[in-house]
Structure 1
Amino acid sequence: MSVKTIALREIKIHQHHLDLLYTVDEFSFTTKIFYHDLDLNELDRRYGDRGLDRLYAHIALFEGMKFCSVYPEKYDISIISDRLCEDALTLFNRIYCGVFAQHWYENNVGDYRGPQLIYDRLGTSEAVELGDRNDIILAACGGGKDSIVAMKMLEEANLPFASFQYSHSIYGQSNLQHRLISRVLKHVRPVRSHQISIYDDFLDCPFVSLYFPQLSGITVPETPVSVFESLILMLAGGYRYLSLAHEKSANTGNLVSDSLGEVNHQWGKSYEAEIELNRYIQTNLFSNLSYFGILQPIYEYRIFEKLTQYPEVLGDIHSCNIEKPWCKKCPKCAYVWTNLMAFFDPDRVDAVFGKNLFDDPDLLPVYEQMLGLTEHTPFECLGEIDETRLAVKSCVEKGLTGKAIDLFRDRVLSDEEIDWEGIAAKYRGVYDREHAIPEAIFMRIADKF
């Protein structure tokens, strides 16, 4: 089966949520975006003439990108094109290429670089300066170790922040996601709390697996589109700053392909994507709003090291994207477990996981990938190869055992040319360049990393 046209057919704005209706040729799908504590009708009265409709159009544009997973010839955005500018189409293509490189690689796609965008006429580029802004930072919380470390840093620097938690169909049942995230938020004191829930029947139903069984699955530009969806909260709350807990490790790809270039599962979290999105928002939407990854100055390794200052959160954080809180069978679980074992008392980690993942034969190929012994690292949000090696080395020094430990001893630790001190210095460092944190905020948190 091949797809000729995907299309955005309708945007419905209700009091507390958006309905986005799309078609994939003769099939139809809906994405619902709920803002639990907002009245969108009231927001329209406040900002309807200052870019709110254009923001809805951008959300719809990028939510539609997931349908590119079935490689359509065209994407019809005619009903919103007058609220978009040429720069929006350029950004769409840039995000598509960055996020979908993995999808191309997995499906052996060589020459497809996105659908032809169909539209009637485009609007003009216009950035609005919003008044009545405050200095409260809107901080995302997904429930993982990055989120809690970022918010703890803000608290230590006496920087007020509001939290927003976010659930998505791609991660399973919404109420469970929010319940787990709320367990993490009890360890900090946000001045306000917000919730977004996204229900997506394209992701929930077996459409792709039944009609496109040859494809590897669906790719969602979740991070970039969530930035645009978060701007709704920024308008409502008067926030100037949006902080996501993206770290320096996200800037490194999984592999470099001769035909595709760098393939990075985490591209949407990268500094490169951050710069693209920030520039676009400030140039074309709201000139005085800023988005940044607050952990960009440090690598994953240092984040785990920082996490040891808050041992009370260990039983409440979660990071698995397969079965929350932990499936204990995927690369993400293996990676987080390894680093927790490296930095915490193993008994405390065992109380959460109850299993030695080093000794799981199903995870041995995963450890080979994470340790850099195969063609590429796992397509997940993980640290660099040397970060994993450093963590496993710490586990060896603690006397931990298992099949993955034996693999590490035989194929990594036996290499006497590895500069372990240099590796440790790199990943324990704090880097004051290549981040978009506003200077006034960075100066307050620089000594908290």
Structure 2
Amino acid sequence: MTAFDKHQVACFRFVRCDFAVDTGVARLVYAFDQGPEMVETITVPGAPFVLEPERAAAVQRALQLLHLIAGVSYYKAAVPDTVTIDGYRIDAATAALVETVYLNGLGEFAYRNGLDLRGRFRLPVQGEQVAAPTLGLRSHALVAIGGGKDSLVSIEALRRAGIEETVTWIGGSQLIRACAERTGLPTLNLSRALAPELFELNRQGAWNGHIPVTAVNSAIMVLVALLQGADQVVFSNERSASYGSQIPGTGEVNHQWSKGWAFEQAFGNHVQRYVAADLQYYSLLRPMSELAVARQFTKTDFYDAHFSSCNRNFHILGERPVNRWCGVCPKCHFVFLALAPFMSKARLVRIFGRNLLDDLDQAGGFDALLEFQDHKPFECVGEGTESRAAMATLATRADWKEDALVKRFCNEILPQLDASELALEPLLELQGEHRIPAALWEHVRADFTA
């Protein structure tokens, strides 16, 4: 294999995709105009799958959508100007959706690499739009779990609402498995294997960086829901996910764009219109802020010893983390701060193993969350408004106000803020657009405001 030169690549190809009902393996094949084919595989337990013709056709539509969205991992290696689809034709609506995912989902990638992707990724439109049929899917939710507080809040809310659910995750994390098993509900573990050639391209200097992984996972779970005959795919993205980092001279760059409302609305609508009319994709937590989710989570301690939102567990420490919280990353900082107003100090310190707000060495990390002298981190954390309100609340609490970072906030940051914007209660209200089915929304709205 000749050395990979990203600047010499002229074309990215969506070569083909297929799904074997006898093995449950989906194959997504990609290539550049130079170099070998790159084959990604998704393995779905439960094979063999027996599909009547109409559902088989919907599976094929979902497979092609997954092929297009998952290609973002490979396209980004060279970001060429020309893109082709070799094995099938797509319509204008599909092209528009996928182009939006690539442009916005690669926003942080483009910013960090100094690239301008506007108008660069364009898909060939050759097919006609055909409305999706109603398949008669059973009432059942596949609920994505990532091991953190948010998905556990959704899982328990769906349980209380009487929705049959299967707790679903992608990959081999033992931490997520333990959390999923703690729910006592049926579980489904999906496998995703990236093409090994991609890692070789990265070693040879390919463009690399953050991708919209929630978009990929959403497309995987839509495919799996159709194979399972389930009518709901449920994520746990709150309204704060729609708010990105405000970069001076650049504008907004949202690390978690595919967790935001714009993606959920576009993707969910597309699935219902063109894949399966009775397959509903939604986030159960969309009307909630991160702080509202945190408050809901603290109502039970059932998961205190099992959950973790620390991304370092999934990237550095491997499948068996020594500690579920590293205590120094933005996720650890934010979850600690978000839970603090609603949880006893003793319980919170027991979860994390230490008091993160009594460590001056971590001032810079918390400053970024507060958007004080820094922008919001490129992480899945809440808005600066939420962090400021949480910190201001702790400053009024006798058990917190003497801690080093709370005291620093009072002395150095609080005088520069507008006191009228630091109230906690308005941030806990349910508000904003969502795709939650109407009957379920009435139930969870009462549940979350109880």
TM-score (norm 2): 0.86
Letter in 2 for 1:185: A
Distance 1:79 1:411, change over 3 A: same
1:367 aligns with 2:366: yes
User: 1:71-150 alignment to 2 at 5 Å?
Assistant: 71-74=78-81, 76-82=83-89, 84-110=90-116, 112-117=118-123, 119=124, 122-150=126-154
2: CA distance between counterparts of 1:321 and 1:313? Answer: 18
SS state at 2:127 partner: coil
1:443 aligns with 2:442: yes
2:318 is matched with which residue? none
Q: Could you report, residue by residue, the CA deviation over 1:90-129 in whole angstroms, capped at 9, with x for unpaired residues?
A: 1111111221222222223246543343x5x722222332
1:56 aligns with 2:60: no
User: 1:19-38 alignment to 2 at 5 Å?
Assistant: 19-24=27-32, 25-26=34-35, 28-35=37-44, 37-38=45-46
Q: Could you report, residue by residue, the CA deviation over 1:323-369 in whole angstroms, capped at 9, with x for unpaired residues?
A: 24333221111111222333322333333322333355663322111
Distance 1:348 1:75, change over 3 A: farther
1:197 aligns with 2:191: yes
1:434 is matched with which residue? 433
Selected match of 1:185 from 180, 187, 193? 180
1:279 is matched with which residue? 269
Identity across matched positions, percent: 21
Letter in 1 for 2:443: R
Letter in 2 for 1:430: L
1:310 aligns with 2:300: yes
Letter in 2 for 1:156: R
Does the CA-based 8 Å contact 1:255-1:263 persist in structure 2? Answer: yes
2: CA distance between counterparts of 1:252 and 1:218? Answer: 20
2: CA distance between counterparts of 1:148 and 1:13? Answer: 31
Distance 1:242 1:12, change over 3 A: closer
Letter in 1 for 2:35: E
1: CA distance between counterparts of 2:351 and 2:197? Answer: 30
Selected match of 1:154 from 158, 167, 173? 158
1:222 is matched with which residue? 213
2:405 is matched with which residue? 404
User: 1:191-340 alignment to 2 at 5 Å?
Assistant: 192-201=186-195, 205=199, 207-208=201-202, 210-212=204-206, 217-255=208-246, 261-324=251-314, 325-340=324-339
2:419 is matched with which residue? 418
Q: Could you report, residue by residue, the CA deviation over 1:255-282 in whole angstroms, capped at 9, with x for unpaired residues?
A: 16655x5321121111111111122112
Deviation at 1:447, TM superposition (A): 0.6
Does the CA-based 8 Å contact 2:11-2:84 persist in structure 1? Answer: no
Q: Could you report, residue by residue, the CA deviation over 1:274-314 in whole angstroms, capped at 9, with x for unpaired residues?
A: 11112211222112211111101110101111111111211
TM-score (norm 1): 0.86
1:164 aligns with 2:158: no
2: CA distance between counterparts of 1:411 and 1:202? Answer: 50
2: CA distance between counterparts of 1:310 and 1:272? Answer: 31
**Structure 2: segments with no counterpart, 5+ residues:** 315-323
Deviation at 1:72, TM superposition (A): 2.1
Letter in 1 for 2:160: E
Deviation at 1:375, TM superposition (A): 4.2
SS state at 1:296 partner: coil
2: CA distance between counterparts of 1:206 and 1:356? Answer: 41
SS state at 2:311 partner: coil
Q: Could you report, residue by residue, the CA deviation over 1:224-273 in whole angstroms, capped at 9, with x for unpaired residues?
A: 222221122221332222211111111212116655x5321121111111
2:320 is matched with which residue? none
SS state at 1:312 partner: coil
Distance 1:62 1:362, change over 3 A: farther
1: CA distance between counterparts of 2:82 and 2:373? Answer: 37
Letter in 2 for 1:145: K
Selected match of 1:9 from 12, 15, 30? 15
More displaced stretch, 403-412 vs 94-103: 403-412
Q: Could you report, residue by residue, the CA deviation over 1:144-192 in whole angstroms, capped at 9, with x for unpaired residues?
A: 100111111112222322221222xxxxxx2xx1x322332344353x4
Does the CA-based 8 Å contact 1:208-1:218 persist in structure 2? Answer: no
Distance 1:226 1:111, change over 3 A: closer
SS state at 1:419 partner: helix
Distance 1:135 1:13, change over 3 A: closer
